[in-house]
Amino acid sequence: MTAFGRLWRRAPLWRTSVIVTVGALGMAAFYPTPALKKAMPWLPGHLPGAAPPGNAGSGASQPDAQGAQPNGAPGLGDQIGVPDPGITEHGSLTIAGRILPLPAGDWHPILTARSGAHGELSQQVLARTDRGVVSGVIVVRATQQPVPADLAEQLETPCHDDRDYAAHISDRPGISQECSYTSNAVLENQSVSTDPFITAAFSRMRTLGFPIPSLMINVGWYYAAAAGKGTAHIETVETLVAPIERGSRQLLAPPQYWNKASVHKNPEASQFIDALDRWMIGWSRVLRQGFDGTLNTATLVSPLINDPSAPQPS
């Protein structure tokens, strides 16, 4: 009997340690963390619930990894893109053939997706950083082809939430529907949204080390243009801005003052929401021009692009 065999029989604690170590190495190989997968891309598996990594370092914003949902069920999307977060966007970008204006600051792509039987719905999440802290997040969805009108009704639901600080709705029957609204978004828990695409985007931000405030204020915009035969072209843009002190994640007011019933009981919270409501009116007009193809990007200058959390010169 070899020395290894004798040791295997006489040292049960050592034997158990070897078994556990080999098992742990196997689990790590087939279910590696994102950091381990990045360091050792030749490992065979990926973490359950995470999309297989795409060409994150390529700098391309187009989808590059497959993540099909069974039976067409809504989820992350039929195609998931993991762009390089080191890219910086300014001014505007194009999604689904339309211009999306960007508020002031450095915007970094976090996640993209295309879904639908023909890839008709495009989605993207971008994050803005200021002095090392996330001061804004954009979630945009836009259709490249007409979609059923019932999908338009689903996307419009947040416009009618009683918890909104304010909402402005314009309906031209048979032509278009438009609304803009402001509401709060609590981000301190792990379940940021019931939408798996948004949840995945925030999870990626945390994995990448983006410091995210515990609460942000959402400026939502929804537009649907009738396309005939019960279909419509749709775009929704959620712009989350952080009511924080410059360069920190400290909220301007305690969390209890950021709901609709209490916001005007705190001067800092009230001032921020009032300023955001005023900015939303002009910004909604710019978003609609981007949808219609009439936006002159040369007009995207201060103060139009400066939301209340926009970066200020040092």
What is the mean pLDDT for each group of 10 consecutive residues in the chain (314 residues)? 61 59 52 49 41 30 33 54 94 95 97 85 95 94 87 75 89 85 79 81 93 92 89 94 89 94 95 95 95 95 94 78
pLDDT at 55: 29
Q: Which two tokens stand for residue 13?
A: 């604690």
Q: What distance in Å separates the CA atoms of residue 55 and residue 37, rounded to the nearest whole number?
A: 13
Q: What distance in Å separates the CA atoms of residue 186 and residue 183, rounded to the nearest whole number?
A: 10
pLDDT at 292: 94
pLDDT at 230: 84
pLDDT at 186: 79
Beta-bridged to residue 130, according to DSSP, are: 133
Q: DSSP assignment of 201-218, as one string?
A: HHHHHHHTT----SEEEE
Q: Which two tokens stand for residue 249?
A: 């994640």
Q: How far are the Cα atoms of 28, 35, 148 from residue 229, in angstroms, in the given order?
A: 52, 49, 9
The residue whose two tokens read 């609709």 is 260
Phi first, then psi: give them for residue 37, nearest 5 degrees: -65, -35
SS3 content of the chain, % helix, strand, coil (to 5): 30, 30, 40
Q: Which two tokens stand for residue 159?
A: 């416009």
